[in-house]
Amino acid sequence: MYPLNQCIFNNPIAKKINVCKKYNVSNKEIHVIEKVVKYNNSSMSIVAEALKITRGSFTIAIKTLERKGYVKRIKSEIGFSKHSLSSSPLN
């Protein structure tokens, strides 16, 4: 796992506040990252469904996390609009 992922999964909820500050992510973004790690290389629709949010809201969250460098969207070879997700390595 990558450093941010280790901080998320190895700390109780109370310590996630410090993780949010250290990595400049919101609590909502931490939940999205958790699901991306859990459903690694799954489609965006599957992860959005697991989070119980709309695909539109999920796309906005992923664009933000992608800009910050925490997740990667990988275009599918099957369809232009299909993307799978993976967490990004952090230094």
CA dihedral 35, 40, 46, 48 (to 10 degrees): 30
Tens digit of each residue's pLDDT (9 = 90 or more) over 21-75: 777 888 888 888 888 888 888 888 899 999 999 989 999 999 999 999 888 888 7
Q: Which amino acid is at 64?
A: T
b/e string for 25-37 if b means 16 or more Cβ within 10 A? beeebbebbbbbb
Task: Give me the pLDDT at residue 64, please.
Answer: 93
pLDDT band at 91 (very low <50, low <70, confident <90, very high): very low
